[in-house]
Amino acid sequence: MKLSQLTKYQDIVIQCHDNPDPDTIGAGYALYKYFEEQGKRVRLVYGGHLKITKPNVCLMVEKLDIPLEHVQNLEIKELLITVDCQYGAGNVTRFEAPYVVVIDHHEEESREFDAKEIRQGLASTCTVVWQMFVEEGIDINKWYTVATALYYGLFTDSAGFSEVRHPFDKDMRDELRVDEALIRQLKNAVLTLSELEIAGMALIRHSYNVANKFVVVKAQECDPNILGFISDLAIQVDSVNVCLVYNQTIHGIKFSVRSCVKEVMANELANYLCDEMGSGGGNLDKAGGFINNKEFNEKNAHLNADEFFLRRLTNYYKSFEVIDAMDTIIDVSTFKTYKGEPVCTGMVPLCEVFPLNTTVCVRTIEGDIDLEITPNLYMLIGLRGEIRPITKEKFEENYVRLDEDLDLDFSYFPNARNKQGKVTFPLKEHTYKCRTKGESYVFAKALTKGAKLFTWWDRQRYIYGKPGDYLIVIKDNLRDIDIINKEVFEKRYKIYLDR
């Protein structure tokens, strides 16, 4: 759905969820400004019994002059848009409306609306709205207060940016021009004294696992940001390598994860913890997630949350082995040889686009990766939008450049940022389509156990492979190791030598 499709309405009400937080307010306020500029009659409201009291939320509304109204009754003549919540769901007061649109980033739970824009991979509804503005070609930075509100909405919904998952979240964070003094003030008006007490109580009752050096902490119901605050403290303990802090609400379990060892990426662990029961993600060192009560009870009815996390974490540590391409020569004697089908990918000749000896941060669907620009450095873009550096020689040996339009469609096209200038550099116009040459051979074997692979070109983050995925070793370079998802592997490779 495009925002401009909604401009046919004259009377528009934007509704935040009850007990509104900065995300719903920020996203609602941006929409308010958009429709106001179009000359519409527009209101920004929230319902429910409670008026906002949280210090940071009150301050945000006051300082940014957000025209947010608390309503008990509401007459809607034409269009109602619920933001950061879904019409018909439990966290938003229901007002009758002729036409209802939902703009959100949560899992779809109600079907009572007429149209929707739900983008689940994003950390905040502010990011959803920001993207909709970008798609309309509107520069949000022309509204200082809107930019600041969106930024703060993402900030609070991602526990201080630690749980941003999608590159679009990072793009918004980096591109908005905001009132930094106000953001600083808002960041430091989050805790109430009673929440400080919740944090203290939680830390007293921790469970520590000596073998794997992890700690699990349960907190009482509190603002999700408090979980981040508690885990930031716990991870600083010298004998704690990984920590998990959670609390339970009527909807489910909200948790926050921290890691200070490279063998455990917080985002991957968060994802593992809520596998098929919710969603999780974030960064290498900080991440978080949410587990729905319904799915949790279906799968773990006999366990309480504490037992669940302790077991799941213990199983996690048993579930993988670590492979480091720099200090392992894999014994391929039990591997089979496969022949690669030709595939089309993208290629950027990095050494011709960027000055030599500079560091460029490439943002991809899999995360931000720093690359040092060396002579002859090229970069391949795979079918999911993931990247992989390659030397010019290797490229010319194994690929052909095609004189065709770049018709590869990624959900996020990688872009680059210069470390010094933080400038976004779209790589699309420098990307060539290419295809693997006829013959490419690899040794491969299906994993029987989870594996974490540190490749020669990314020393900070591992590629995680689950049982059934393939570990592959390039035939003419035994240090060139990769893990490929089962389905992708079976599509791309055919057995060549069964030995």
Footprint on this chain of Mn ion (rule: CB under 5 A): 23, 84, 125, 157
Strands (E), 373-476: 377-381, 387-391, 399-401, 415-418, 424-426, 432-436, 441-446, 450-454, 463-465, 470-474
**For Mn ion, the closer CB: 291 or 444:** 291
DSSP, collapsed to helix, strand or coil, labels residue 440 as: coil
Q: How far is the CB of 438 from Mn ion (least distance, A)?
A: 50
Q: How far is the CB of 462 from Mn ion (least distance, A)?
A: 30
Residue with tokens 């089908």: 341
**For Mn ion, the closer CB: 125 or 283:** 125
**For Mn ion, the closer CB: 169 or 171:** 169
**For Mn ion, the closer CB: 81 or 347:** 81
Q: How far is the CB of 342 from Mn ion (least distance, A)?
A: 44
Question: What residue is closest to Mn ion based on CB?
Answer: 23
Phi, psi of 38, rounded to the nearest 5 degrees? -80, 5
Q: What is the 3-state secondary structure (H, E, C) of 268-311?
A: HHHHHHCCCCEEEEECCCEEEEEEEHHHHHHHHCCCCHHHHHHH
DSSP string, 138-160: --GGG-HHHHHHHHHHHHHHTTT
Q: How far is the CB of 129 from Mn ion (least distance, A)?
A: 11
**For Mn ion, the closer CB: 163 or 458:** 163
**For Mn ion, the closer CB: 23 or 480:** 23
Give the H/E segment covering residue 338. Answer: strand 336-340
**For Mn ion, the closer CB: 16 or 42:** 16
Q: How far is the CB of 303 from Mn ion (least distance, A)?
A: 28
Angle subtended at Cα 57 by Cα 55 and Cα 63, rounded to the nearest 5 degrees: 95
Q: Is 452 exposed, middle or buried (0-12, 13-18, 19+ CB in 10 A)?
A: buried
**For Mn ion, the closer CB: 120 or 460:** 120
Phi, psi of 319, rounded to the nearest 5 degrees? -90, -5
Amino acid making up residue 168: F
Q: How far is the CB of 415 from Mn ion (least distance, A)?
A: 25
Amino acid making up residue 201: M
Amino acid making up residue 304: N
**For Mn ion, the closer CB: 108 or 321:** 108
Q: How far is the CB of 420 from Mn ion (least distance, A)?
A: 33
DSSP string, 80-137: EEEESS-TTSTTS-----SEEEEEESSPP-----SEEEE-TTSS-HHHHHHHHHHHTT
Q: How far is the CB of 48 from Mn ion (least distance, A)?
A: 16
Q: How far is the CB of 22 from Mn ion (least distance, A)?
A: 9
**For Mn ion, the closer CB: 157 or 171:** 157
Pairing of strands 463-465, 450-454: antiparallel
Q: How far is the CB of 445 from Mn ion (least distance, A)?
A: 43
HSE (side-chain half, CA atoms, 13 Å) at 374: 9
Tokens representing 185? Answer: 């003030």
